[in-house]
Structure 1
Amino acid sequence: MTLSLAPPRLLARLRHPLSLAAVAALLATGVGAVLVTAAGSDPATAWAALDEGMFGSSYAVGSSLNSAAVLALIAAGFSVAHRAGLVNVGGEGQLCAGGLAAAATGLALPADVPAAIGVPTALIAGFVAGAAWALVAAVLKTRRGTSEVITTLLLNFVGAGAVSVAVHEEGLLRQPVTSSETLPQSEALPPGVRLPLIAGIESPATAIVIVAVVAVVVTGVVLRFTGVGLRLKSVGHSPSASARLGLPVSRLQESGLGVAGGLAGLAGACLVATAPYVLAEHFSSGYGFTGLVVGLLARGSLVAVAAVSLLLGFLTSGGINLQLAAGVPASSVQIVQSVLVLLIAAAMLWSNRGTGSGS
């Protein structure tokens, strides 16, 4: 009897999320070692550079936390839309809309605006702009039946284009051109619109970390313990059944996607309000798409959102130092991150199939 029960118990342990994450990390590390060796670098030196970039200084840790906070905001919004049965792939465009609105609002405020007014005003403007950007796709979904996957994806390109136009046109947000070396970007935001540091001058960690923690916790509580979360879950499972029960399906779907866009827009506003405090072309650095990956991997769990965001945030910072200190191409770090994501996704799929078959 003991022997017959051992394999199922072992299989159950292997399907545990911690076991799957550990195996995925080991395999991704192996891939990274192969790439480092192929690039002609010493694996020990590369590992030391990666560790230094992630944890070697307060600056490294602060940069990693800022990156993780941006990803967590976007992924938390993705989880809200996902709970309503929608897939928001427009985080990049919503982030661009939020950053654009925050920059325009911040530059329109007086130069001596106090931080107690300037920072919340810019962040609220970013949230509203991101929500409005997502509502375009939401309304098309509820009123015309257009796939939100297609519309949010296409709106990414519109958002990036809007930022490009704004920072290249002097009549919009471009800083005054004084020479041929003047960069196509906005002027720096006033001091009262900049996010404050939370860990001293030696660390770049800003209040975006606090904003992200609050957003993730509030989102998790609302989705799990409130009637709103229950109604969103019902709509996500079956819109037709929810409609028969009297739930406002269209309004709930629009609200879910709107909040998702708002959180992505908030992330964009925080990026603009962080050093160097300007709106520039490509300021989003692909955070919108990476945040989508975090949301997909988290599968609705806000705890997983925080964990995966921290993992990718620290890997991003470590990868920058790996390139500088060990001479490893940046593409190698991107490959390792992609392999890690694919392995975690495949492991989760295998785990879910095994659980379903067992039930």
Structure 2
Amino acid sequence: MSVAAFAAVLAIGVGILLVVAAGADPATAWRALAEGMFGSPYSVGSSLDSAAVLALIATGFTVAHRAGLVNVGGEGQLCAGGVAAAATGLALPDAVPGVLGVPVVLVAGFLAGGLWAGIAAWLKARRGTSEVITTLLLNFVGTGLVAVAVHEEALLRQPVTSAETLPQSAPLPAGAQLPLIGGPESPATAVVVIAAVVVVATGIALKHTAVGVRLAAVGHTPAAAARLGLPVRRLEGGGLAFAGGLAGVAGAALVATAPYVLAEHFSSGYGFSGLVVGLLARGSLTAVAAASLLFGFLTSGGINLQLAAQVPASTVQIVQSVLVLFIAAAMLFTARRTRSTP
């Protein structure tokens, strides 16, 4: 049995124990979970949207990791992209056509996310500061930026018309909203297609282009790559900026999806979940797609698990975390065993 399969079995066992501890019948909980994942066009569409957002972040993580960097700042980069997308979308005229408005919003998110990651890239190149520390700390700055933007009327908060007016931006114009692709009963948007294209194109680029080979060389041995004349700092910075850009696109997609507003907690932890997907994929874009789909569908299923079986939706998050821990532990054990084998 493979490491991933063994870890999945153990994680499922933990999930069953949690369901029993919550006083629910495992069979009922399983039906509720399955129905939440596949029971209707709405649940499938919602799951695909979630998976697409995770795939964008995890793909960026994989590119940075290929260059030897660990980008843990997906949450902050996503927030930066969301703020830029909201500001850009709200600045567009109401009659802007979708063929123009949607690309402008997504490009704004990409540039903002890339610049946000560029801060960490610059600090690493000029000061030798660990990108793990800087990208992690920038997450808190990014979430704070969203909070300030949606609470200040001078920035992005919608005009306060009553005590019930939420601290959020006004809705984006129709031309800046991602189009639906799954029919009237499905919330699946064009971000699903965008993420699929990005994953495939990035996989091809990493395997079959000179840039992919150079990134791998830098990630494997930076000193040797420098002796060969490769621009190590530029490749590292570009890989990290590209990762931030894709996280920014994910943030822009969240803003351009119903209800089409920037709210304080719009990120919903996608940046950290995308990091987990990237870690599990271990550099494989095929694994990124598979893990994103798994986590996306589990997220939607967890909501119905709470509604239909009275089991806390956080149970799914616990199972996902346990799965990551088991896989990490198994990989560590395997690596140590390999090193100790003569």
Q: Which residue of 1 aligns with 2:22?
A: 39
Give the aligned partner of residue 4 of structure 1: none
Structure 1 partner of 2:318: 335
- Specify the code of the residue in structure 2 equivalent to 1:273: A
Q: Which amino acid is 1:326 matched to?
A: A
Partner of 1:175: 158
1:308 aligns with 2:291: yes
2:106 is the alignment partner of 1:136 = no
- Normalized against structure 2, the TM-score is what? 0.97
Q: Distance in 2 between matches of 1:134 and 1:87?
A: 11
1:351 Cα deviation after fit? 4.5
Q: CA deviation at 1:125?
A: 0.3
Aligned to 2:138: 155
Alpha-carbon shift at residue 206 of structure 1 (Å): 0.5
Could you say which residue in structure 2 is the equivalent of 1:278? Answer: 261
Match of 1:186 among 163, 169, 189: 169
Equivalent position of 1:72 in the other structure:
55
Q: State the 1:120 CA deviation.
A: 0.2
Alpha-carbon distance, 1:24 to partner: 2.2
Unmatched segments (≥5 aa) in structure 1: 1-13
Distance in 1 (CA, whole Å) between partners of 2:114 and 2:255 is: 17
Quick check: 1:253 aligned with 2:236? yes
Q: Does 1:54 align with 2:28?
A: no
1:262 has 2:245 as partner = yes
Deviation at 1:218, TM superposition (A): 1.0
Partner in structure 1 of residue 91 of structure 2: 108
Instruction: For residue 155 of structure 1, report the CA deviation from its aligned partner.
Output: 0.5
Distance 1:256 1:210 in 2: 23
CA RMSD of aligned residues (A): 1.3
Q: Which of 204, 211, 214 is the aligned partner of 1:231?
A: 214
Q: Taking structure 1 as reference, are residues 228 and 186 closer, same or farther at Cα in structure 2, changes over 3 Å only?
A: same
Counterpart contact for 2:151–2:157, Cα < 8 Å? yes
Q: Offset of 1:346 from its aligned partner?
A: 2.7
CA distance in structure 2 between the aligned counterparts of 1:127 and 1:301, rounded to whole angstroms: 22
Partner letter of residue 181 of structure 1?
E
Q: 1:5 corresponds to which residue?
A: none
Could you tell me which of 78, 97, 114 is aligned with 1:95?
Answer: 78
Determine if contact 2:123/2:129 at 8 Å carries over to the other structure: yes
Q: Which moved more, 1:239-248 or 1:332-341?
A: 332-341
**Equivalents in 2 of 1:331, 1:77: separation in Å?**
26
Does the Cα contact within 8 Å between 2:78 and 2:247 map onto a contact in 1? Answer: yes
Question: What amino acid does structure 1 have at the position aligned with 2:97?
Answer: P
Segments of structure 2 that go 5 or more residues without pairing to the other structure are none
Between the aligned partners of 1:121 and 1:358, the Cα distance in structure 2 is 55
Deviation of 1:276 (Å): 0.7
* Greater Cα offset, 210-219 or 331-340: 331-340
One-letter amino acid of the counterpart of residue 43, structure 2: A
Which of 288, 311, 332 in structure 1 is aligned with 2:271?
288
Distance in 2 of aligned mates of 1:203 and 1:77: 27
- Aligned to 1:338, the other structure's residue is in SS state helix
C-alpha separation in 1, matches of 2:27 and 2:125? 55
**Which residue number in structure 2 is paired with residue 201 of structure 1?**
184
Q: CA deviation at 1:350?
A: 4.1
How many residue pairs match? The answer is 342
What is the CA-CA distance between 1:343 and the residue it aligns to? Answer: 1.9
User: Hey, what's the Cα distance between the residues in 2 that align with 1:171 and 1:317?
Assistant: 36
Deviation at 1:355, TM superposition (A): 5.9
Letter in 1 for 2:268: S
Query: Which range moves more in the overlay, 327-336 or 95-104?
Result: 327-336
Q: Confirm or deny that 1:124 pairs with 2:133.
A: no
C-alpha displacement of 1:244:
1.0
Q: Measure how far apart 1:331 and its partner are.
A: 2.6
Q: Do the aligned partners of 2:72 and 2:272 also contact (CA within 8 Å) in 1?
A: yes
Report deviation, 1:357: 6.4
Specify the structure having the higher radius of gyration (Cα). Answer: 1
> Matched residues in 2 for 1:338 and 1:233: separation?
29
- Give 1:282 deviation, angstroms: 1.1
Q: Are the equivalent residues in 1 in contact too, given 2:302–2:314 (CA < 8 A)?
A: no
